[in-house]
Amino acid sequence: MFMGTFLSEVIFNFIESVIILLIFMVLSQNKGFIKQNPSKALIFCIFYTVLAFWATYFIPFGLHTVIIFTITLLFISLITGISIYNTVIFLLTPFLLLLVTDILGLLATMFVLKIDMATLINSPKIKIIFSVCVKTVQLGICLYLYFSDIKWLKIDILKKENSLFSFLIFQAFMMGFFLICSNYATSSGKSIVLYNILLFVIYLLYIALAFFDLKERSRLVGLQNKLKLYEEDVKNLEGIINIIRREKHDFLNHINTVFALTKLNKPDSLERIGAYLQKLTNNLQSSYKFYNTGNDFVDGLLAIKSNTCYENNIELIVDIEDELTYADVDESDLPTIIGNILNNAIEAVMSEPGSHRYIAINTYVEEDNYYISIANNGPAIPEKILDTIFENGFTTKQNNSIDHGYGLFITMQYVKRNGGRITVESTDERTEFLIEFKAVKNADGEAGTDDSAADTAG
């Protein structure tokens, strides 16, 4: 008898969990969740089944409905990422549906069979027949709502992900739930063995949930890292656009000046215009240098950085022995890799006054490996932090803002993604970042170029 009652309770509770989950997904406009996350959906159904059975036996009548609703609320908010506030709204409907249909079914059964509630509850046979009929109706209504596109069911509320907050609340509430159950089980003489079995099942489900939560957090961390990479690319593009805008403004001023000189119509106007343009050309050649690295993106980056170095009295030395095309690396990643290290080098040499400050960039092939060396004569990096400078969020800057601490970390991610590695050597005289990739072999089966291009600055 007990086994039959046990199985019927488990089956009916499982059907309830399916009804709640389906209606919740309809109201939250997230029908694809079950198909995309079948494991989470199954864990929810098992969790609810165990929870409902457990609450029936180990929670005082009346309180157990509140407990079931509250824990279900926290659990479903956690696995779906929907805010607790919105989860309350979406979850009330299936619970109300179950409550109303149970009451209507109860009244109909009592009216048809001419029995009272006590007789219905104490007769296992009648109770099972009643439950089968009611659950069939409830499941039918649920499936109709799920597979029908009923516009008025859609509640257009912004759903905000807050899985971390939900997980913390869920943990705290579950601890209190266990305490209440244990006290009630011992004081009411309920089966401690059954209590321990249910506790173990909940424990296993909790571990499974923690595993999914860990995977979700790892995915979010990956997305955040990608976002940082994209932000760095956008920052480089914004730098290029700002330079172009500034130069456009300067050239307009120069054109206006030349135009004004032509309007003066003085005997020496031609000579003055020539002298002015000559001076302008000399300044451009000094402030902007153009390089042929084999990568157009890096060429543009170096042209901009050469202007920055010129304005800050830093000598930028670029020696491309082997073009970047011979590095086995995604060409769109190279500007970020080189740009971030170059930015750090510029900040380093600017932090220490000196008569001769320089940054040297050199590329070469050696033993089937392609190397990019970026060196500067700024202050030495302390040996104790050499192993931590590539960690996420690490920075030595005094104004430790939200933008600091990601440049070298992002660079390391790009380098690793392309199968490369970075080494750093730093002394009081010189700091060198050496980036290593596999070299692409040429038609002769050799890595690198045959002829050296000692200086590609033009």
Q: Which two tokens stand for residue 27?
A: 């109201």
Question: What's the pLDDT at 353?
Answer: 75
On the CB side of 6, CA atoms within 13 Å amount to 5
Q: Is the pLDDT of residue 135 over 60?
A: yes
Look at residue 82 in the predicted model and tell me its pLDDT: 84
Instruction: Count CB-CB contacts under 10 A for residue 242.
Output: 11
3-state secondary structure of 421: strand
Residues 184, 58: contact at Cβ < 8 Å?
yes
Task: Give me the chain's average pLDDT, please.
Answer: 77
Using a cut of 0.85, tell me whether the model's pTM lies above it. no
Give the Cα separation of 181 and 60 in Å (integer): 9
> Can you read off the two tokens belonging to residue 51?
């929870």
H/E element holding 430?
A: none
Report pLDDT for 189. Answer: 57
Mode of pairing for the β-strands spanning 357-366 and 314-320: parallel
Q: Secondary structure of the chain: what % helix, strand, coil (to 5)?
A: 65, 10, 25
319 or 175, greater pLDDT? 319
CA nearest to 216, candidates 154, 162, 284, 253: 162
* 38, 42, 47, 53: CA torsion to nearest 10: 150
Q: What integer is the mean pLDDT of 71-77?
A: 87
Is 84:74 a contact under the CB 8 Å cutoff? yes
Task: Indicate if the pLDDT at residue 102 is higher than 70.
Answer: yes
Of 418, 423, 417, 424, which Cα lies nearest the Cα of 438?
418
Instruction: Report in angstroms the alpha-carbon separations of 270 from 110, 254, 259, 265, 279.
Output: 111, 15, 11, 9, 14
Domain limits of the chain? 2-190, 289-458
Q: Comparing 89-103, 163-177, 417-431, which segment has the lowest mean pLDDT?
A: 163-177
Mind listing the pLDDT tens digit for each residue in 210-232? 776 677 677 766 677 667 667 66
Q: Which CATH superfamily is domain 289-458 in?
A: Histidine kinase-like ATPase, C-terminal domain (3.30.565.10)
CA distance readout (Å), 141 to 95, 97, 149, 266, 375: 13, 9, 13, 94, 71
**What average pLDDT does the segment 35-57 reach?**
88
The candidate with the shortest Cα–Cα distance to 402, out of 163, 237, 231, is 231
The helix/strand count (H/E) of the chain reads as: 13, 5
How many other C-beta atoms can be found within 10 angstroms of the C-beta atom of residue 445? 6
DSSP 75-139: HHHHHH---HHHHHHHHHHHHHHHHHHHHHHHHHHHHHHT--HHHHHH-HHHHHHHHHHHHHHHH
Q: Rounded distance, CA 105 to CA 138, Å?
A: 10
pLDDT at 336 over 50: yes
CA–CA distance, 388 with 410 (Å, rounded to integer):
13
122 burial type by CB count under 10 A (0-12 exposed, 13-18 middle, 19+ buried): exposed
Provide the pLDDT for residue 176. 59
Helix, strand, or coil here: 237?
Answer: helix
**Residue 202 parent element (H or E):** helix 192-264
Strand order across the beta sheet in which 369-376 lies: 314-320, 357-366, 369-376, 431-438, 421-426
Taking only Cα atoms into account, the Rg of the chain, rounded to an integer number of angstroms, comes to: 35
Q: Check pLDDT > 60 for residue 59.
A: yes
